[in-house]
Structure 1
Amino acid sequence: MHEINGTAKRLVLQALLVSEGNAVPHGALIEEIWGEGIPDGVANALQAHISRIRRWLREISGNSSGTQLVSSPHGYQLVLGEAELDASVFQETVGAATALRGEDPSKAALLRSALSMWRGPPFGGSDGGPLSDASAIRYDEVRLRAQEELFDTELKLGRHAQVLSEIRQAQVENPTREHFCAQLMFALYRSGRQAEALGAYHATRECLNEDLGIDPTPELRKLEQCILRQSPELAPTEPELPLPLPLRAQR
């Protein structure tokens, strides 16, 4: 594993990576490193960091034609080889899954393959500048939506008992995200645990009120009423099916 040392170099590299092959202006890189506390001779300081990153890239790629850091009239650009950026592979895999019909088992397998690429928070949870912080929020939202789509697919396949613990964990980690709450309520109800399903609703309602000062959406309140009435529309229509092994993402 090749690590890059130095906060400034890490911030530059993060900013270049999240640009996904587009040039990053000098001013944006300067703001990423120094914020409002711009030192004297900042252009030379930035160039020094760029030179160190170039040396580091040459060291890890050896004689192969790997990732290159090039200058452009608009700033600096990280030229990546095919499928070198995990974020791009993740989004391509999610896109391939999204194109499939909702109850296709291959859709769930592709989404699991994409989500398996995550090994923690974006950039290891380290502090960043404006570009990397905004991208970390965006990447995390894309991950959460992929999780929601995975659980929707599994529930359509009748796998409510098999994914119940995963949904519960996601809801615990994101207590104000109502889609996870709805999925948890579905999974609990379809597992014959009506009281727990209603308890999940009340816990989310309290969390929304305390943390955000809002009430649950009409959709979530309607789901609560359907569970109270034991509405036939909530009954599973598919038999329990075994979870497939995750497909390996095509690189």
Structure 2
Amino acid sequence: MEFRLLGSIDACVGDRRLDLGPRKRRFVLAALLLDLNRPVPVERLVDAVWETDPPDSARMTVQGHVYRLRRALVGAEVETDSSGYVLRADPERVDALRFRRLTAEAAREGDEAGAELLEEALGLWLGPALGESRGGKSLEVAAIELEEARLAAIEDLARRRLRLGQPERAITPLRAIVTAAPHQERLVSLLMTAFYRVGRQAEALELYDRTRRLLADQLGVDPGHELRATFASLLTAQA
């Protein structure tokens, strides 16, 4: 069985997605997976499910979802703990935990080996962390942390590819994330550099101008130092 959090919250056996039932049950599963093999208090599960004040029946509802997850999951066991529940499974079967392991390993490796590990880690992502609807506050925080880790991995990968003299391999992941998050100036700067190094100078300068206008129109600010410095260095190289 494989568990997915880097996209929609899913459990799969081979190519078959299990029917996990309603969204709230998926939120309970996500909270258990994020603390895999560790006790998760019922209060934290409640906080993962309800965005605002939970109903009086919240604990009973969570217990019902856990009961049904026990029946649905194959190759994983949900145990009752003194304070809540523990989901026991192989961490390698949870894409978010595998992503964390791969990025941690990459940080200890040189550029070439590290870049390969980062590409493997980023290949696990199928969509926004924990899907479009992220449940209650604790899951929202976890999703934000995963998305920030994804951005850091993309940036790390791009810098490694540029140092290795492989700018063409930096462009695809950078362009995808810059399209989705155009205010990420460090990533825009890296994409500009990659464009320039493969001979696409006009695209690099156009990207800067588009980002400059976007920052001015939406945030009322000018580009930061790193992005301005990259722009200046490209102009100097062209002269």
Is this a same-fold pair by TM over 0.5?
yes
Letter in 2 for 1:72: D
Q: Does 1:19 align with 2:35?
A: yes
Q: Which moved more, 1:47-56 or 1:163-172?
A: 163-172
- TM-superposed deviation, 1:159: 1.5
- TM-superposed deviation, 1:98: 1.6
Q: Does 1:5 align with 2:21?
A: yes
CA contact (8 A) 1:18 1:132 kept: no
Q: Which moved more, 1:86-95 or 1:36-45?
A: 36-45
- TM-superposed deviation, 1:83: 1.8
Question: Any unmatched runs of 5+ in structure 2?
Answer: 1-15
Aligned residues: 223
CA distance in 1, matches of 2:178, 2:104: 24
For residues 87-107 of structure 1, the C-alpha deviation after alignment (integer angstroms, 9 at most, x for no partner) is 1111111111121223xx222
Question: Any unmatched runs of 5+ in structure 1?
Answer: 233-251
For residues 61-98 of structure 1, the C-alpha deviation after alignment (integer angstroms, 9 at most, x for no partner) is 2xxxx322122222222122252222111111111112
Look up the match of 1:144: 151
CA distance in 2, matches of 1:40, 1:25: 17
Map 1:115-126; keep pairs closer than 5 Å.
115-126=122-133
Map 1:65-214; keep pairs closer than 5 Å.
66-102=75-111, 105-214=112-221
For residues 214-244 of structure 1, the C-alpha deviation after alignment (integer angstroms, 9 at most, x for no partner) is 3222121112111111189xxxxxxxxxxxx
CA distance in 2, matches of 1:107, 1:116: 14
Give 3-state SS (helix, strand or coil) of 1:3's partner: coil
- TM-superposed deviation, 1:117: 1.4
CA contact (8 A) 2:99 2:124 kept: yes
Q: Does 1:54 align with 2:63?
A: no
For residues 149-183 of structure 1, the C-alpha deviation after alignment (integer angstroms, 9 at most, x for no partner) is 11111111112234434432332122011121111
Alpha-carbon RMSD across the aligned residues, in angstroms, is 2.2
- TM-superposed deviation, 1:195: 3.4
Letter in 2 for 1:86: D
CA contact (8 A) 1:189 1:197 kept: yes
Q: 1:82 to 1:193 in 2, by over 3 A?
A: closer
Pick the structure with greater CA Rg: 1
CA contact (8 A) 1:18 1:131 kept: no
Look up the match of 1:227: 234
| Identity over aligned pairs, percent | 34
- TM-superposed deviation, 1:32: 2.8
- TM-superposed deviation, 1:20: 3.3
CA contact (8 A) 2:183 2:211 kept: yes
Q: 1:27 to 1:225 in 2, by over 3 A?
A: same
CA distance in 2, matches of 1:82, 1:165: 29
TM-score by length of 2: 0.83
For residues 181-223 of structure 1, the C-alpha deviation after alignment (integer angstroms, 9 at most, x for no partner) is 1111111222233333222112112222223333222121112
Counting strand residues as a fraction of each chain, which structure ranks higher?
A: 2
- TM-superposed deviation, 1:35: 4.2
CA contact (8 A) 1:94 1:111 kept: yes
